[in-house]
Amino acid sequence: MADSSTSHLLETRREKLAALKEAGIPPFAYRFDRSHGAKAALSLFLEEEGELEEGAHGSNVRVAGRVVSYRSHGKSAFCHVEDESGRIQIYFRLNVLGEEAFRRLDLLDLGDWLGVEGSLFRTRTGEVTVQASEWELLAKSLRPLPMGKQEEDPETGERIHHSGFRDPEGRYRQRYADLAVHPEVREVFRVRALIVRELRRFMDERGYLEVETPILQPIYGGATARPFVTHHNALDTRLYLRIADELYLKRLIVGGFERVYEIGKDFRNEGIGRFHNPEFTMLEFYEAFSDYEDMMERVEELLSQVAEKAVGGEAVTYQGQEISFAPPFRRISFVEALEEALGRPVSELSDAELRERAEAAGAGELEGVGRGKLLDELFEELVQHSLVQPTFVVDYPVELSPLAKPKRDASELTERFELFVAGQEVANAFSELNDPLDQRARFEAQARLRDGGDEESHPVDEDFLRALEYGMPPTGGVGIGVDRLVMLLTNQSSIRDVVLFPILRPE
């Protein structure tokens, strides 16, 4: 429930709305013919200022934006309007606008959208400004934004913003308000768009075909995770939101496409935290006639190029740590790293001993999980946090990798790698299993784990097995978590800071 001060502000704004309507002023315009954004208007004046006499006005412009400051000085007033490109000052004078138009400025509030026509000039304090000859209300703000305060450092001239919107959950829940008052948040999402564009450009330039595969699936697969479940009324059948794109993309390799990729949403019915959102974005790509060694080279090249194009260099700072995406990345063995942390060979430890070690290390719910999951939990608790620089962890146990080919010289392992950066998994990749008989045996082993209580084990997908029986060439495949990559490249500590509308508990 709103407090009394908020209720008063809302009431005051509605009174101004009524006054505008009574005066015949439309409070919500249909359009505005803008000639320049704020940044472009400032640049225009700087270009022509050298040819103007001191104090003279420059070109006429039409700008529009949200009112973010306002101060009245009797027969004149100043405000700043902000658009996507930046902010520009507006100067109103009674003897220029006329009494009626000037008086109606009293009906404006911070947050209103304003269109202004006028000439550019520089004030005595040195700020490039539009002297308004006309103004138009484009949208009345009926709720005050939590704008906070802005100050200018007297030595550097840097504008310092003191947020009025400090509650993180409130910012995520009202992302529209967060974006409106925090230009730096808008910048994060501009960089995110650039990162996705560069991922797409990289794949396109190397001959990968962008495709779209089903989000609603009769059988989920491609990862070990709990799915979201829904029901299709017309077909009277259960469907799942996909947890990965993998199995459908590999069907396309069977069908004759040699390089495919998809950037899309996946959904996993799991916990929410700094690095987990139930809805997330993945890049998955598959390449015929290649293996996981080729994919490691591809990932190194991809990430170094995206970092260079999106943020200006292969070295970035993430939470106070400098991270370099310059190839080659370090490589370590999953088993060897885990054995070093445990102090004993994994083969010498029974399932019961692994469970005991995992519980002692602080692992979560372990009821019904198999040996592979225990190894994975131990690796996460004992090794993963130490992998700060980009590191390929290679050659996972077969129990952990139901979709990867056996390692050529060690059949108890698979040709799989995960890329870890700043202690978090960013990519997962395999030499893809293309033997349909081996794949069926792996699926059936996963089904037994499911029967034992492991809800994240992989179901048997008969249609995918049928596809493999038609023949899939040797293939390398990679999945990259786009949200986590954006976190790294924009120095954001939570996945919620790089997802526009993250999942939250109901209000």
All structural domains of the chain, each given as residue ranges with its CATH number in brackets, are: 4-144 (2.40.50.140), 185-329+389-497 (3.30.930.10)
**Average pLDDT value for residue range 233-256:** 97
Closest by Cα among 199, 232, 195, 198 to 215: 232
Across the chain, what does the average pLDDT equal? Answer: 93
pLDDT for 46: 96
* Secondary structure (DSSP) of 327-395: SSPEEEEHHHHHHHHHTS-GGGS-HHHHHHHHHHHT----TT--HHHHHHHHHHHHTGGG--S-EEEE-
pLDDT in tens, 316-358: 999 999 999 999 999 999 999 999 999 999 989 998 899 989 9
pLDDT in tens, 426-446: 999 999 999 999 999 999 988
**Average pLDDT value for residue range 449-462:** 84
Q: Quote the distance between the C-alpha of residue 262 and its chain's center.
A: 16
Q: Where are the beta strands (DSSP E) in 140-258?
A: 149-152, 159-162, 209-210, 216-217, 229-232, 237-241
Reduced to 3 states (helix: H, G, I; strand: E, B; else coil), residue 198 is helix
pLDDT in tens, 117-171: 999 999 999 999 999 999 999 999 999 999 866 665 556 555 555 556 778 899 9
pLDDT for 1: 44
Please tell me the distance from the alpha carbon of residue 18 to that of residue 21, in angstroms, as a whole number: 5
pLDDT for 150: 61
pLDDT of 52 higher than 80: yes
pLDDT in tens, 387-427: 999 999 999 999 888 889 999 999 999 999 999 999 999 99
List beta partners, residue 114: 65, 137
Please tell me the distance from the alpha carbon of residue 136 to that of residue 116, in angstroms, as a whole number: 6
The region of weakest confidence among 44-48, 258-262, 358-362, 434-438 is 358-362
